[in-house]
Structure 1
Amino acid sequence: MNASPRLTDRKREAIVAAAIAEFRANGFEVTSMDKIAATAGVSKRTVYNHFPSKEELFAEILHQLWASSVAQLDVAYSSEHPLRDQLRGLLEAKMKMMSDTNFLDLARVAIAATIHSPERAQDMVNRLSEREEGFTQWVCAAQEDGRLRCGDPAFAAHQIQSMLKAFAFWPQITLGQPILDATSQAHVIESAIDLFLAGYEVSPHPPQ
Structure 2
Amino acid sequence: MNMSNLNYRIHSMDGVSLAKVRSEATRLAILQAAAQVFKISGFESTTMDAIRDQAQVSKATLYGYFPSKEELFIESLLYEAEVEFHRNLVFNHSDTTDLKSHLMNLAQNMIRFAYSPNGLAIRRLLISSAKNPELGQLCYERGPRKGKMAMLALLQQAIDEGQLKPHDPKISECHLRALIEAEFVDILYFGLNQPLTEEWIQAASQRAISSFFTIYTA
Structure 1 159/62 Cα, relative in aligned 2: closer, same or farther at 3 Å? farther
% identical equivalent positions: 24
* Partner of residue 184, structure 1: 200
Please say if residues 81 and 118 of structure 2, whose CA atoms lie closer than 8 Å, have aligned partners that are also in contact: no
User: Which residue among 159, 165, 176 is the counterpart of 2:181?
Assistant: 165
User: Which residue among 124, 130, 148 is the counterpart of 1:132?
Assistant: 148
* Partner of residue 211, structure 2: 195
Structure 1 109/191 Cα, relative in aligned 2: closer, same or farther at 3 Å? same
Q: TM-score, normalised by structure 2?
A: 0.71
Structure 1 150/188 Cα, relative in aligned 2: closer, same or farther at 3 Å? farther
Residue 124 of structure 1 deviates from its aligned partner by 4.2
Give the stretch that moved more between structures: 8-17 or 83-92.
8-17
* Partner of residue 42, structure 1: 57
Residue 7 of structure 1 deviates from its aligned partner by 7.3
Residue 98 of structure 1 deviates from its aligned partner by 2.2
Pairs within 5 Å for 1:72-151: 72-78=88-94, 81-112=97-128, 114-125=129-140, 128-151=144-167
Give, in whole Å, the separation in 1 of the partners of 2:160 and 2:49. Answer: 54
Residue 92 of structure 1 deviates from its aligned partner by 2.0
Please say if residues 77 and 142 of structure 1, whose CA atoms lie closer than 8 Å, have aligned partners that are also in contact: no
Residue 95 of structure 1 deviates from its aligned partner by 2.1
Please say if residues 73 and 90 of structure 1, whose CA atoms lie closer than 8 Å, have aligned partners that are also in contact: yes
Structure 1 150/58 Cα, relative in aligned 2: closer, same or farther at 3 Å? farther
User: Which residue among 20, 23, 26 is the counterpart of 2:43?
Assistant: 26
Give, in whole Å, the separation in 2 of the partners of 1:7 and 1:123. Answer: 23
Please say if residues 108 and 205 of structure 2, whose CA atoms lie closer than 8 Å, have aligned partners that are also in contact: yes
Please say if residues 75 and 134 of structure 1, whose CA atoms lie closer than 8 Å, have aligned partners that are also in contact: yes
1:153 aligns with 2:153: no
Residue type at the aligned position of 1:15: I
Give, in whole Å, the separation in 2 of the partners of 1:110 and 1:65. Answer: 17
Please say if residues 30 and 51 of structure 2, whose CA atoms lie closer than 8 Å, have aligned partners that are also in contact: yes
Give the stretch that moved more between structures: 62-71 or 87-96.
62-71
Structure 1 59/175 Cα, relative in aligned 2: closer, same or farther at 3 Å? closer
Residue 159 of structure 1 deviates from its aligned partner by 1.0
Taking only aligned residues, the RMSD between alpha carbons, in angstroms, comes to 3.4
Q: TM-score, normalised by structure 1?
A: 0.74
Give, in whole Å, the separation in 1 of the partners of 2:80 and 2:162. Answer: 35
Give the stretch that moved more between structures: 156-165 or 65-74.
65-74
SS at match of 2:183: helix
Give the stretch that moved more between structures: 135-144 or 155-164.
155-164
Aligned length: 197
- Structure 2 residue runs of 5 or longer lacking an equivalent are 1-6, 12-17
Give, in whole Å, the separation in 2 of the partners of 1:118 and 1:196. Answer: 31
Please say if residues 104 and 173 of structure 1, whose CA atoms lie closer than 8 Å, have aligned partners that are also in contact: yes
- Structure 1 residue runs of 5 or longer lacking an equivalent are 203-208
Residue 20 of structure 1 deviates from its aligned partner by 4.0
Superposed CA deviations along residues 81-118 of structure 1, whole A, max 9, x for unmatched, are 22211111211221221242223223322332x32213
* Partner of residue 206, structure 1: none
* Partner of residue 15, structure 1: 30
* Partner of residue 53, structure 1: 67
